């Protein structure tokens, strides 16, 4: 009888964010952001386990007060490196990297990614959502373009594809930075050096593409608000206080 793959969700949580200090502990409608992320991710029926991964004792205490499981890690420069440490210490088959600054994520986001890996041969999967021209020109939003079967061609903060003739019929997609990985894909990623495009764009997912590892990009109708600035935090607070994220 075939083994049923075990799926583990991991929320990497770093306290010393540069753009918005201490953002994973910032208040959103009366609860810390990391707790809001966990609350929404926990609603996915496809996650066998869900933990916060952090090197911060303060984050650990906050999660403990909310009965949220935590694994303490070493210090890491990226969430993917922190996830790799968790992988080396656990025995799941699939890992979902859930950004600690995505409090408006939905369980449908996670279910869509996990289902893609469970039902096919994809090694890595992530999400995209359609955006308008104004959002495409926002350098704070990472864009993605894909091939005819949904594999990523490139990621950039620039508005790709470029509508050279200003015809207005180009579709732009925002990349939602939630990933599902097979164990072997995450191990290979960690073994590779940072790539030239990754260093140029400051987007670590380009390491996969430069090394010939396809990323399957699934379209979702549900956008999220990644919190990077005080303005983002205000928008998310308003959303939760209005009850629109329940």
pLDDT (tens digit, 9 = 90+) per residue, 129-165? Answer: 999 999 999 998 999 999 999 999 999 999 999 988 8
Tell me the pLDDT band of 17, cut-offs 50, 70 and 90: confident
Does position 243 have pLDDT exceeding 80, yes or no?
no
Least confident of 9-18, 44-53, 197-206: 9-18
What are the tens digits of pLDDT across the range 113-133? 999 999 988 999 999 999 999
pLDDT tens sequence across 207-236: 999 999 999 999 999 999 999 899 999 999
% of the chain surpassing 70 pLDDT: 98
Say how far apart CA 146 and CA 167 lie, in whole Å. Answer: 20
Say whether pLDDT at 1 is over 80: no
Helix (H) or strand (E) holding 97: strand 94-97
Q: Report the C-alpha gap between 189 and 125 in whole angstroms.
A: 14
How does residue 242 score in pLDDT terms, banded at 50, 70 and 90? confident
How far CA 147 is from CA of 20, 155, 178, 200, 216, in Å, comes to 34, 12, 20, 22, 10
**Cβ(14)–Cβ(100) below 8 Å:** yes
CA distance 79 to 98: 9
Which pLDDT band holds residue 202 (cuts at 50, 70, 90)? very high
Whether residue 56 has pLDDT greater than 80: yes
pLDDT value of position 226: 92
Q: Which fold has domain 7-231?
A: Spore Coat Polysaccharide Biosynthesis Protein SpsA; Chain A (3.90.550)
Token pair listed for 8: 């583990």
> What contacts 85, CB < 8 A, 6 or more positions away?
53, 73, 74, 76
Per-residue confidence band for 45, with pLDDT thresholds at 50, 70 and 90? very high
Binning pLDDT at 50, 70 and 90, where does residue 175 land?
very high
Q: Does residue 16 surpass a pLDDT of 90?
A: no
Name the token pair of 81: 């490196």
Nearest to 29 by CA among 234, 180, 212, 223: 234
Confidence check: pLDDT of 246 > 60: no
pLDDT-derived band at 2, boundaries 50, 70, 90: low
pLDDT, position 120: 85
Residue-level length of the chain: 246
At 154 the three-state DSSP class reads: strand
CA-nearest of 153, 152, 156, 115 to 136 is 156
Domains in the chain: boundaries:
7-231
Q: In which residue are the tokens 């390491």 written? A: 207
User: For all residues of the chain together, what is the average pLDDT?
Assistant: 93
Amino acid 167: pLDDT? 78
Rg from Cα positions in the chain: 18
């Amino acid at each position: 009888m075939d083994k049923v793959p075990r799926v583990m969700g991991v929320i990497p949580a770093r306290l010393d964010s540069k753009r918005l200090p201490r953002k994973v502990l910032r208040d959103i409608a009366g609860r810390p952001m990391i707790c809001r992320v966990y609350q929404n991710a926990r609603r996915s029926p496809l996650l066998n386990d869900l933990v916060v991964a952090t090197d911060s004792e303060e984050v650990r205490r906050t999660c403990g007060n909310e009965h949220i499981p935590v694994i303490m890690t070493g210090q890491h420069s990226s969430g993917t490196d922190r996830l790799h440490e968790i992988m080396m210490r656990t025995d799941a088959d699939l890992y979902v990297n859930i950004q600690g600054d995505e409090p408006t994520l939905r369980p449908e986001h996670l279910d869509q990614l996990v289902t893609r890996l469970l039902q096919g041969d994809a090694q890595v999967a992530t999400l995209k959502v359609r955006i308008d021209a104004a959002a495409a020109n926002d350098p704070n939003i990472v864009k993605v373009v894909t091939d005819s079967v949904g594999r990523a061609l490139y990621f950039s903060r620039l508005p790709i594809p470029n509508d050279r003739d200003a015809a207005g019929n180009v579709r732009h997609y925002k990349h939602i930075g939630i990933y599902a990985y097979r164990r072997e894909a995450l191990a290979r990623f960690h073994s590779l050096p940072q790539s030239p495009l990754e260093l140029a764009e400051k987007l670590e997912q380009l390491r996969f593409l430069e090394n010939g590892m396809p990323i399957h990009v699934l379209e979702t109708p549900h956008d999220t608000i990644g919190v990077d600035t005080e303005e983002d935090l205000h928008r998310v607070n308003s959303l939760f206080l209005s009850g629109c994220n329940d």
